[in-house]
Protein backbone atom coordinates (compact mmCIF):
# COMPACT_ATOMS: atom_id res chain seq x y z
CA UNK A 1 0.00 0.00 0.00
CA UNK A 2 2.90 2.37 0.80
CA UNK A 3 6.35 2.44 2.38
CA UNK A 4 6.43 0.87 5.87
CA UNK A 5 5.24 3.32 8.49
CA UNK A 6 4.02 3.79 12.05
CA UNK A 7 0.21 3.99 11.74
CA UNK A 8 -1.99 5.09 14.62
CA UNK A 9 -5.30 3.28 14.15
CA UNK A 10 -7.46 4.51 17.02
CA UNK A 11 -7.31 6.63 20.18
CA UNK A 12 -8.95 5.55 23.42
CA UNK A 13 -10.92 8.80 23.57
CA UNK A 14 -12.22 8.43 20.02
CA UNK A 15 -10.41 11.53 18.76
CA UNK A 16 -9.46 11.79 15.11
CA UNK A 17 -6.17 10.26 13.95
CA UNK A 18 -3.99 11.46 11.07
CA UNK A 19 -3.74 8.02 9.45
CA UNK A 20 -5.32 7.65 6.00
CA UNK A 21 -7.79 4.80 5.46
CA UNK A 22 -9.19 3.24 2.30
CA UNK A 23 -12.38 1.19 2.14
CA UNK A 24 -11.75 -2.32 0.91
CA UNK A 25 -12.34 -6.01 1.50
CA UNK A 26 -9.48 -8.38 2.25
CA UNK A 27 -10.95 -10.93 -0.16
CA UNK A 28 -14.22 -11.82 -1.87
CA UNK A 29 -15.03 -13.86 1.25
CA UNK A 30 -14.39 -11.07 3.75
CA UNK A 31 -17.55 -10.86 5.92
CA UNK A 32 -16.78 -7.23 6.84
CA UNK A 33 -15.63 -6.08 3.42
CA UNK A 34 -18.23 -3.32 3.13
CA UNK A 35 -17.21 -1.78 6.45
CA UNK A 36 -13.47 -2.40 6.51
CA UNK A 37 -11.16 0.63 6.48
CA UNK A 38 -7.61 -0.28 5.51
CA UNK A 39 -4.59 1.62 6.84
CA UNK A 40 -2.17 -1.08 5.65
CA UNK A 41 -2.50 -3.85 3.08
CA UNK A 42 0.71 -5.68 2.32
CA UNK A 43 1.52 -8.10 -0.49
CA UNK A 44 2.33 -10.71 2.18
CA UNK A 45 -1.29 -11.01 3.33
CA UNK A 46 -0.95 -8.78 6.39
CA UNK A 47 -3.41 -5.92 6.81
CA UNK A 48 -4.47 -3.49 9.53
CA UNK A 49 -7.14 -0.86 10.01
CA UNK A 50 -10.65 -0.42 11.40
CA UNK A 51 -14.03 -2.14 11.08
CA UNK A 52 -17.27 -0.32 11.91
CA UNK A 53 -20.09 -2.83 12.17
CA UNK A 54 -23.58 -3.05 13.69
CA UNK A 55 -26.00 -5.95 13.74
CA UNK A 56 -25.42 -9.67 13.23
CA UNK A 57 -23.30 -11.73 10.86
CA UNK A 58 -23.34 -15.52 10.66
CA UNK A 59 -20.04 -16.76 9.23
CA UNK A 60 -19.70 -20.41 8.26
CA UNK A 61 -15.96 -20.37 7.60
CA UNK A 62 -13.98 -17.29 8.70
CA UNK A 63 -11.59 -16.72 5.77
CA UNK A 64 -8.50 -15.48 7.62
CA UNK A 65 -7.09 -14.99 11.13
CA UNK A 66 -7.97 -11.64 12.69
CA UNK A 67 -6.95 -9.88 15.89
CA UNK A 68 -9.52 -7.32 16.99
CA UNK A 69 -9.50 -4.64 19.69
CA UNK A 70 -12.88 -3.06 20.44
CA UNK A 71 -12.85 0.76 20.48
CA UNK A 72 -16.60 1.48 20.51
CA UNK A 73 -19.77 -0.41 21.32
CA UNK A 74 -20.10 -4.03 22.37
CA UNK A 75 -19.19 -7.08 20.28
CA UNK A 76 -20.20 -10.69 20.96
CA UNK A 77 -18.33 -13.54 19.24
CA UNK A 78 -20.22 -16.81 19.50
CA UNK A 79 -18.88 -20.16 18.30
CA UNK A 80 -20.00 -23.70 19.10
CA UNK A 81 -17.30 -23.93 21.78
CA UNK A 82 -17.48 -20.55 23.49
CA UNK A 83 -18.94 -17.06 23.65
CA UNK A 84 -16.77 -13.96 24.09
CA UNK A 85 -18.36 -10.66 25.12
CA UNK A 86 -16.04 -7.80 24.23
CA UNK A 87 -16.51 -4.30 25.58
CA UNK A 88 -14.35 -1.27 24.84
CA UNK A 89 -10.69 -2.16 25.41
CA UNK A 90 -11.24 -5.91 25.10
CA UNK A 91 -9.44 -7.93 22.45
CA UNK A 92 -9.60 -11.38 20.89
CA UNK A 93 -8.48 -13.51 17.95
CA UNK A 94 -10.74 -15.19 15.40
CA UNK A 95 -8.85 -18.11 13.88
CA UNK A 96 -9.05 -18.99 10.22
CA UNK A 97 -11.84 -21.51 9.58
CA UNK A 98 -13.94 -20.60 12.61
CA UNK A 99 -17.71 -20.92 12.35
CA UNK A 100 -19.22 -18.12 14.40
CA UNK A 101 -21.88 -15.50 14.85
CA UNK A 102 -20.86 -11.88 15.38
CA UNK A 103 -23.32 -9.55 17.12
CA UNK A 104 -22.42 -5.88 17.50
CA UNK A 105 -24.30 -3.01 19.10
CA UNK A 106 -24.97 0.14 17.09
CA UNK A 107 -21.81 1.99 16.16
CA UNK A 108 -19.42 -0.76 17.23
CA UNK A 109 -15.87 -0.38 15.97
CA UNK A 110 -12.71 -2.40 16.31
CA UNK A 111 -9.11 -2.01 15.26
CA UNK A 112 -7.77 -5.09 13.51
CA UNK A 113 -4.72 -6.86 12.21
CA UNK A 114 -5.44 -9.73 9.80
CA UNK A 115 -3.33 -12.43 8.18
CA UNK A 116 -4.85 -13.77 4.96
CA UNK A 117 -2.65 -16.35 3.24
CA UNK A 118 -4.28 -18.67 0.72
CA UNK A 119 -2.15 -21.69 1.62
CA UNK A 120 -2.58 -21.36 5.40
CA UNK A 121 -4.30 -24.26 7.18
CA UNK A 122 -7.42 -23.72 9.28
CA UNK A 123 -6.94 -22.63 12.89
CA UNK A 124 -10.57 -22.55 14.07
CA UNK A 125 -11.44 -21.14 17.45
CA UNK A 126 -11.74 -17.94 19.47
CA UNK A 127 -8.96 -16.69 21.75
CA UNK A 128 -9.56 -14.05 24.40
CA UNK A 129 -6.55 -11.80 25.00
CA UNK A 130 -7.05 -11.34 28.73
CA UNK A 131 -5.30 -8.23 30.04
CA UNK A 132 -4.31 -9.88 33.35
CA UNK A 133 -2.67 -12.92 31.75
CA UNK A 134 0.30 -14.22 33.77
CA UNK A 135 3.55 -13.46 31.94
CA UNK A 136 6.97 -15.10 31.77
CA UNK A 137 10.41 -13.44 31.44
CA UNK A 138 11.27 -12.64 27.83
CA UNK A 139 14.24 -11.22 25.96
CA UNK A 140 15.03 -7.52 26.22
CA UNK A 141 16.02 -5.43 23.16
CA UNK A 142 19.56 -5.95 21.86
CA UNK A 143 22.16 -4.13 24.03
CA UNK A 144 23.62 -2.25 21.05
CA UNK A 145 20.40 -0.36 20.38
CA UNK A 146 19.48 0.46 24.00
CA UNK A 147 19.84 3.96 25.41
CA UNK A 148 20.37 3.49 29.13
CA UNK A 149 19.61 0.50 31.37
CA UNK A 150 18.31 -2.85 30.11
CA UNK A 151 14.58 -3.23 30.85
CA UNK A 152 12.86 -6.21 32.44
CA UNK A 153 10.44 -7.69 29.90
CA UNK A 154 7.80 -10.41 30.14
CA UNK A 155 5.41 -11.99 27.63
CA UNK A 156 2.92 -14.76 26.97
CA UNK A 157 1.81 -16.01 23.55
CA UNK A 158 -1.91 -16.80 23.64
CA UNK A 159 -2.23 -17.61 19.92
CA UNK A 160 0.70 -19.11 18.00
CA UNK A 161 0.44 -20.29 14.40
CA UNK A 162 3.64 -22.03 13.31
CA UNK A 163 2.65 -22.09 9.63
CA UNK A 164 1.97 -18.36 9.19
CA UNK A 165 4.31 -17.39 12.08
CA UNK A 166 1.54 -15.26 13.56
CA UNK A 167 2.02 -14.78 17.31
CA UNK A 168 -0.43 -12.91 19.50
CA UNK A 169 -0.37 -12.27 23.23
CA UNK A 170 0.44 -9.93 26.11
CA UNK A 171 3.81 -8.24 26.84
CA UNK A 172 5.05 -5.85 29.48
CA UNK A 173 8.23 -3.97 30.29
CA UNK A 174 9.87 -1.57 32.69
CA UNK A 175 10.74 1.85 31.15
CA UNK A 176 13.47 2.02 28.50
CA UNK A 177 14.63 3.79 25.36
CA UNK A 178 16.22 2.44 22.21
CA UNK A 179 17.57 3.82 18.98
CA UNK A 180 15.54 3.59 15.82
CA UNK A 181 15.88 0.56 13.57
CA UNK A 182 13.72 -1.10 10.91
CA UNK A 183 10.90 -2.93 12.71
CA UNK A 184 11.63 -6.65 12.47
CA UNK A 185 8.01 -7.76 12.03
CA UNK A 186 4.57 -6.39 11.33
CA UNK A 187 3.10 -5.54 14.72
CA UNK A 188 -0.26 -4.44 16.06
CA UNK A 189 0.05 -2.92 19.55
CA UNK A 190 -2.77 -2.03 21.92
CA UNK A 191 -1.64 -0.39 25.15
CA UNK A 192 -3.25 -1.77 28.28
CA UNK A 193 -1.08 0.31 30.62
CA UNK A 194 1.41 3.13 30.27
CA UNK A 195 2.56 5.27 27.38
CA UNK A 196 5.27 5.04 24.71
CA UNK A 197 6.58 7.38 22.02
CA UNK A 198 7.47 5.78 18.68
CA UNK A 199 9.59 7.87 16.29
CA UNK A 200 10.52 7.32 12.66
CA UNK A 201 13.80 8.22 10.91
CA UNK A 202 12.44 11.63 9.90
CA UNK A 203 11.78 12.64 13.49
CA UNK A 204 8.00 12.21 13.29
CA UNK A 205 6.82 10.94 16.68
CA UNK A 206 3.60 9.17 17.68
CA UNK A 207 2.78 8.95 21.38
CA UNK A 208 0.64 5.89 22.13
CA UNK A 209 -1.26 6.06 25.42
CA UNK A 210 -3.33 3.62 27.43
CA UNK A 211 -6.24 2.37 25.31
CA UNK A 212 -4.71 3.44 21.97
CA UNK A 213 -3.98 1.03 19.11
CA UNK A 214 -1.10 1.41 16.63
CA UNK A 215 0.28 -0.68 13.77
CA UNK A 216 3.96 -0.70 12.84
CA UNK A 217 4.66 -2.22 9.43
CA UNK A 218 7.62 -4.54 8.94
CA UNK A 219 10.66 -2.50 7.97
CA UNK A 220 9.34 0.81 9.29
CA UNK A 221 12.07 2.84 11.03
CA UNK A 222 11.03 2.95 14.68
CA UNK A 223 12.61 4.19 17.90
CA UNK A 224 11.02 3.51 21.31
CA UNK A 225 10.92 5.72 24.41
CA UNK A 226 8.89 4.82 27.49
CA UNK A 227 9.31 6.52 30.87
CA UNK A 228 6.67 4.41 32.64
CA UNK A 229 5.71 0.74 32.86
CA UNK A 230 4.07 -0.48 29.65
CA UNK A 231 1.73 -3.45 29.15
CA UNK A 232 0.34 -4.21 25.72
CA UNK A 233 -1.49 -6.63 23.49
CA UNK A 234 0.67 -7.59 20.53
CA UNK A 235 0.10 -9.36 17.23
CA UNK A 236 3.31 -9.96 15.28
CA UNK A 237 3.91 -11.58 11.91
**Architecture per CATH, 136-236:** Sandwich (2.60)
- 0.95 cut: is pTM over it? yes
CATH 2.60.120.10 domain range(s) in the chain: 6-128, 136-236
Instruction: Give me the residues paired with residue 74 across strands.
Output: none
pLDDT of res. 22: 97
Mean pLDDT of 175-195: 97
What are the pLDDT digits (tens) for 118-157? 888 999 999 999 999 999 999 999 999 999 999 999 999 9
Question: Is the separation of the CB atoms in 75 and 86 below 8 Å?
Answer: yes
Mean pLDDT of 164-170: 97
Question: Is the separation of the CB atoms in 93 and 124 below 8 Å?
Answer: no
CATH superfamily of 6-128: Jelly Rolls (2.60.120.10)
What are the pLDDT digits (tens) for 88-117? 999 999 999 999 999 999 999 999 999 999
Amino acid sequence: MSSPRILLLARADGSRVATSFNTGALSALDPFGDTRQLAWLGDDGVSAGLVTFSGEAVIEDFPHSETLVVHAGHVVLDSAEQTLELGVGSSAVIGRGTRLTVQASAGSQWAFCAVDQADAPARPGLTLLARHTLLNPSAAPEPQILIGPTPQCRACNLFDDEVTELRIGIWDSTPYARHGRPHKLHELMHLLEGSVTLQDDEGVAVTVNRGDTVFVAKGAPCAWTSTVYVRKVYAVK
